[in-house]
Amino acid sequence: MMTRTLIACGVLLMAGATATAEEPPESCRPKAGEALALAAEADQARMQCDIDRASQLVERSERLAPATTKPVMRIVDTASPSGAAYIYDVIGTGPSYWLSAHTVPGEESERSRVPICSLGTNLPEDISSRVTSALTTAASESIPDYGPREDVSINPDGSRRHVLLLDTHDIITTIETTQGTRHFSRHAKASDAIAGINQMIIGVANVSDGWVCNTN
């Protein structure tokens, strides 16, 4: 069994010079002189920033190991304690799916420190069934693209407690739904339907013993 902590520990560090840090995507840079946006507009801007952040990580990953098949679902976990980001690609047309997961340095400057690890495995039958269902349900307009950054818990008296999540541990999910491509952004501690899909796929990877790391 291999968890993210185990991936980061006990593995020889990659050789190579530290690369120059990449600029953040244009959509993520503060724009001087602009008035505060309305809430809906702010969420739309944050969503575009997260889409572009995920794309930057995917491009960085493909420079290391080019992808050969377009996934029906891609989950980009932008942060981990090891300094790596994780990309999880669900591939196939159903009813069975293949999971291809791999690490990528969360920052280009981390390239010499973070090992590159990969996993390829069949998804269990019950998980594959839920993936097929998600390709339909994720098309619903009732599911927002950008999820709220708050942790909601239930108090003993039945009331709800809302706590803002100020850290930036975001997970960006792209799903080829039956109605077209949709992008979603959720905090790692979110608990809605999209977060459930993320946790389901990431959970399969976390308990797999099939991870292979490049120790050169």
Q: pLDDT tens across 110-163, in order?
A: 555 667 899 999 999 999 999 999 999 999 999 999 998 876 667 888 887 766
Q: Is residue 21 part of a domain?
A: no
Q: Is residue 39 part of a domain?
A: no
Is 185 exposed, middle or buried, given 0-12, 13-18 or 19+ CB atoms closer than 10 A?
buried
Q: How many CB atoms lie within 10 A of CB 65?
A: 13
CA–CA separation, 113 vs 7, rounded Å?
Answer: 12
Terminal-residue alpha carbon distance, the chain:
22
pLDDT score recorded for residue 113: 65
CA–CA separation, 116 vs 63, rounded Å?
Answer: 12
- The answer, yes or no, to whether the previous bond of 95 is cis (omega within 30 of 0) is yes
Q: Is a pLDDT exceeding 60 seen at residue 185? A: yes
Whether the CA torsion 52, 9, 99, 186 is positive or negative: it is negative
Q: Is residue 92 part of a domain?
A: yes
How many domains is the chain partitioned into structurally? Answer: 1
> Which pair of tokens denotes residue 168?
């930036």
Q: Is residue 31 part of a domain?
A: no
Least confident of 6-20, 94-108, 130-144: 6-20
**Rounded to the nearest 5 degrees, what angle is found at the Cα of 77, between the Cα atoms of 198 and 36?**
100
Share of residues in the chain with pLDDT > 90 (%): 50
User: For residues 107 and 192, which has the higher predicted lDDT (pLDDT)?
Assistant: 192
pLDDT score recorded for residue 82: 74
Q: Is a pLDDT exceeding 80 seen at residue 206? A: yes
Q: Is residue 84 part of a domain?
A: yes
Q: Is residue 197 part of a domain?
A: yes
Residue span of the structural domain in which 8 resides: 4-13+49-64+71-146+162-214
- Residue 206 has φ and ψ, to the nearest 5°, of -65, -30
Q: Is residue 75 part of a domain?
A: yes
Question: Per residue in 51-85, pLDDT tens?
Answer: 999 999 999 888 877 777 899 999 999 987 777 89
CA–CA separation, 122 vs 128, rounded Å?
Answer: 9
Q: Is residue 155 part of a domain?
A: no
